[in-house]
Structure 1
Amino acid sequence: MRQGEDTEELAGRRGIPIDGRRFRDNDKSATHGKHRPEYERLMAAVQRGEVDVIIVYMLGRLWRNRRERAEGIEILRKHGVSVLCVKGPELDLTTAAGRLLAGLLGEVDTFEVEQMSEREQREMRQRVERGEIPTGPRCFGYTADGDEVIDAEAAEVRKMYQALAAGGTLSGIAADLNEREILNRNGKAWTHNAVRYLLMNERYAGLREYNGTTYTGKWPAIVNEDVWRQAVAILTDPARKTSPGPARKWLLSGLARCGVCNNGTTVTSAQRSAKGSYEGARIYKCRGPVKHLGRTAEPIDRLIAGVEPGQPLGLVPQLLVREDAARLLLDDERPDMDELNAKATVLRARLKNMADAFADDDEADALEFKRAVRRIKDRLKEIEQQMTSPARAAVLGELVRSDDVVAAWAATPLDRKRAVVDMLMSVTIHQCGPGRRRFDPESIEIVPKLR
């Protein structure tokens, strides 16, 4: 407002009619590459011969970077337009001296802007190096000033990281939050991109990146660095299967293979039309150009994952409830697996022998026995952790270690169930012959991936 009044006052003193023609690009700094539509409109008016003189508060308000200044000087020279500055000299750009002065003054403006930017960058780097809390909008999981954790939100953040590691999809995580009416920091529903941005944010690991370098912050971390880096690795993996559309709705869509073409073509799912033989029923069909496979999905899903009361458990929950289900977590590719397995076997046998000896010795010291057992169990736990595959543990660990595996499996979200199926087995769906028939489990070929 004040600058506008000053330019009007200068125009009045010089007898220059403005006729209400003003060009304002408020908060449109060309220094940061922002588009300046009003400046472009002014230059277009100059080139149409509609402008004789441009009045500005100071030259730095007209041109804000070297490229813009060089192009502007040439346009004004060509069309005989001069520049009047409230804070600065009059510039006749039709003369070499006027163009020289405009260039020199412009370089001074650019120097001041760049020097200020360097100071701001240096100050920002120092803040980051000191581990100071980032400024800006509140981060979900933290208070407004960022130095304290909001426990309920922090718990949701940890669940998101756990869900991703266990095979959950971004859309599935967002859907789960929205179903439970957990709103984001703005009080709105979660989206696929909002979940991704959160999981990629190094702040949750107590870190901060600046110009490609990671620094440790002084605020409390919600997850450890390994958890955050694992999430980043998953989300940036080029092989990761992503889809801009809605999340998968069915257990085997995109996972099961067609047993007819047998060339790696996967199976998708759909509803039969009302005129089909299975009105309203979901079907699995070949994704290839020839739809030579169409099987009702429900009995296949029940065979793989079913936990319905009174019905046999599906193949996946059968594997998870086995007494030796913990073996599914072992990393078979470790070169020292045999050695670790031998040590674990010795420690388990030692625990059994100690228990038998304690039961037979009426004078045994119970406290000493408990201490010895605790030491052996700690060593056994350490060895078992070394034997465990992190990838398998992320997907299967929570289920395998559950006190009620069947209930835990039934409550597992669909995207994580799909990850478990994909890790445990490959599924191929074969044709079952013409006409209606009873479901034949033998028509579904299951090949275990883990032993």
Structure 2
Amino acid sequence: MTEIAQLLAGVYGRQSRNKAKSIDEQLDAGQAVASENGWKVSGTYQDGSSASRYARKGRDDWERVLADIASGALTVLILWEASRGDRTLTTWSQLLDLCRDKGVSIYVVSDERLYDPRKHKDWKSLAQSGVDSAGESDLISVRVRRGHAGAAAAGRPSHGRTPFGYVRRYDPGTGQLAGQEIDPDTAPIVREIFARIKKGEAVSTIVDDFNERGVKTSGAVKWYRVRVRDIAMNRAYLGQRVYNGSISEGIWPGIVDAETFYAVQRVLTDPKRVTTRPGRAVHLLSYLGTCSPCGASLTAVRGRYRCLDNGCVTIVQRDTDAFVENMVLEKLSRPDVYEQLRQHGVEDDEEVVKAREEIARLDDILAGWRLSAARHETTPASLAVIEADIAGQIRSAQRRADAAGVPPALRAILEPGADVRVRWEDAPMAARRRVVLFMATIVVDQAAAPGGRLFDFHRLGKSRWTGDPQSWGERWAGAGA
């Protein structure tokens, strides 16, 4: 009894999900056990995170427990139950081995028993508790995954952060999440984001405007581009639930309609949106027009477009913009072109989004095979065959994306019954630039004589309409212009 009275006890408490005993109750019970046995409590430890292998957060105090056992600061460890120690079988076994090596006993309050890991029967009993705890942890994980999958299949909202624009409903009897409803205060902000992106406005413009207006946000002090993009790409606003890549219809109402949602996805996933910088530019042809001699982009400098790389081309900006606008609007005003382009629908945008997702998936697969070849796991001959096959699938998906109707920015100008020129004037610059980008390739040639300041439309003769093999100059010549 003298030996036991000299034990130095460490009391460890951990909150376990769906368990009634709080950390404070566990620590109180452990200290009571130490007092009853005349043990000196040399340290208390507590963690609020899970002990299972599925845990995402670390357990700092558990690491302290192991360090104190290894250093000889403890001679007995008090746990409420074995599962409060570690639900991972390998690490629980390591604890038992450490305690056996250091001569540290383990007292389990729920068992009302002191175990000595140096004794075979005690070690075996504790090891079996570890097996049971690990098995329970796996069962809990399976139940949780099934619960999430079942909730997703039933269209119930996830238990994560409430999407901006909604408020949660809870069952008054059980306190369980029952659903979510549209928040009349914040839902209009969500609708505004979708409407403005669909119209062709840059995300950065929306962010600046929201911050200047002091528009309400959630969590952050101000709006950021990533926040606006996250909202604009969240299927929750279409009334849908996504779980492990699967999409199901939610039991909550959508804030935007399908046509608007898919139009916005098409805008945000357009690869040309990034490479041509259409959103930030404030001039019609900046980074869209190209220099004929060297192929560099044009940039606006003091009222003129200038070759960005070598300065080998300069042309009056105002007259060039006016000429290109007239060319585009005259083409859009033609009844045959107008009727052809205005055919659109939600199916077009959904097809484009799916095709681009397929391209991204194929790109990832191809990158994996190339990495495998670099590691000499795949032969060069096999890689060549695989590359050719995947490249063909990518081209097929790209053709589907290219064929699926006109971009949303152009549709805003092609609304039935409206004058095209009036809508052009009403459209933001970003939308006008997308129309030009979709309809034509603008190329500017050098001036016939150095230093010429007069605008000469023939310098745009190498420009061409999208999908048309003839340049503007060739068409002008054919028309006798």
Shorter-chain TM range is 0.5 to 0.7
- Counterpart of 1:392? 406
Residues 266, 85 of structure 1: alpha-carbon distance in 2 compared, 3 angstrom cutoff: farther
The residue aligned with 1:427 is 442
Q: Write out per-residue CA displacement over residues 45-78 of structure 1, whole angstroms, 9 at most, x where no aligned residue.
A: 3334443332222222221323432333343344
CA, structure 1 residues 282+17, in 2 after alignment: closer, same or farther (shift >3 Å)? farther
**Structure-2 residue corresponding to 1:47:** 70
Q: 1:406 to 1:46 in 2, by over 3 A?
A: farther
The residue aligned with 1:73 is: 96
Distance 2:58 2:311 in 1: 54
Q: CA deviation at 1:420?
A: 1.6
Please give the per-residue CA displacement for 1:14-43, whole angstroms capped at 9, x wherever unaligned.
333334x33322235544232222222332
Q: Is the 1:260–1:292 Cα contact (8 Å) retained in structure 2?
A: no
> C-alpha separation between the residues in 1 aligned to 2:159 and 2:428?
36
Alpha-carbon separation, structure 2, partners of 1:193 and 1:219: 25
Alignment match, 2:254: 221
SS for the counterpart of 1:32 is coil
1:106 equivalent in structure 2: 130
Given the alignment of the two structures, is residue 15 of structure 1 paired with residue 38 of structure 2, yes or no? yes
Q: Secondary structure of the residue that 2:40 maps to in structure 1?
A: coil
For residue 303 of structure 1, the aligned residue among 289, 302, 320 is 320
Q: How do residues 272-283 of structure 1 correspond to structure 2 at under 5 angstroms?
A: none
Matches of 1:434 and 1:82, distance apart in 2: 94
Tell me what 2:311 maps to: 293
> What is the rounded CA distance, in whole Å, between the counterparts of 1:436 and 1:47 in structure 2?
86
- Stretches of structure 1 lacking an aligned partner (at least 5 in a row): 272-277, 307-311, 333-388
Whole-angstrom CA distance in 2 between matches of 1:154 and 1:40: 46
Aligned length: 372
Question: What CA deviation, in whole Å up to 9, does each residue of 1:227-250 have, x standing for no partner?
Answer: 54565566567x56548x996334
CA distance in 2, matches of 1:180, 1:407: 28
Instruction: Give the one of 279, 293, 306 matched to 1:260.
Output: 293
Amino acid of the residue matched to residue 310 of structure 2? H
Partners of 2:199 and 2:427 within 8 A in 1:
no
Partner of 1:25: 47
Q: Could you tell me which of 51, 54, 64 is aligned with 2:87?
A: 64
Structure 2 Cα separation of the partners of residues 284 and 71 of structure 1: 70
Instruction: Give the residue type in structure 1 aligned to 2:338.
Output: A
**Residues 278-330 of structure 1: CA deviation (Å, up to 9, x unaligned):** 6xx786543xxxx3127679x43663369xxxxx9655455556666624616
Task: Using the TM superposition, give the Cα deviation of residue 168 of structure 1 relative to its aligned residue in structure 2, in angstroms.
Answer: 5.0
Q: 1:108 to 1:144 in 2, by over 3 A?
A: same
Change (3 A) 1:8 1:99: same
Provide the rounded CA distance (Å) in 1 between the counterparts of 2:451 and 2:202.
38
CA distance in 2, matches of 1:315, 1:71: 77
2-side partners of 1:182 and 1:58: how far apart?
Answer: 51
What is the TM-score with the length of structure 2 in the denominator? 0.63
Structure 1 counterpart of 2:424, one-letter code: W
Once the two structures are superposed, what CA deviation does each residue of 1:122-147 show, in whole Å capped at 9, x if it has no partner?
Answer: 44444444334555544333344365
Greater alpha carbon shift after TM alignment, 157-166 vs 44-53: 157-166
Judged with a 3 Å threshold, the aligned counterparts in structure 2 of structure 1 residues 128 and 316 are, in CA distance, closer, same or farther, namely same
2:6 alignment counterpart: none
Cα distance per residue 1:87-126 (max 9 Å; x no partner)? 2333323344333222211222233333344344444444
Q: Distance in 1 between matches of 2:257 and 2:51?
A: 39
1-side partners of 2:47 and 2:318: how far apart? 61
- Aligned pair 1:249/2:281, yes or no? yes
Q: Tell me the TM-score normalised to structure 1 length.
A: 0.66
**Do the aligned partners of residues 124 and 102 (structure 1) sit closer, same or farther apart at CA in structure 2, a change above 3 Å counting?**
same
Relative to structure 1, the CA distance from residue 132 to residue 318 in structure 2 (aligned partners, 3 Å threshold; closer, same or farther) is same
**1:438–1:240 distance in 2 versus 1, CA, 3 Å:** closer
Cα pair 1:328 1:450 within 8 Å, conserved: no
Change (3 A) 1:330 1:232: closer
Q: Distance in 2 between matches of 1:284 and 1:33?
A: 54
- The percent identity for this pair of structures is 25
Moved more, 105-114 or 219-228: 219-228
8 Å CA contact 1:293–1:431 kept in 2: the answer is no
Decide which moves more: 228-237 or 26-35: 228-237
C-alpha separation in 2, matches of 1:233 and 1:107: 51
CA distance in 1, matches of 2:91, 2:419: 69
Q: Secondary structure of 2:163's match?
A: coil
Match of 1:91 among 95, 111, 115: 115
Q: 1:234 to 1:55 in 2, by over 3 A?
A: farther
Query: CA–CA distance in 1 between the matches of 2:51 and 2:274?
Result: 37
SS in 2 for 1:391: coil
Residue 450 to residue 259, structure 1, CA distance change in 2 (3 Å)? same
- Equivalent residue in structure 2 for 1:412, among 405, 427, 433: 427
| Amino acid paired to 2:62 | Y
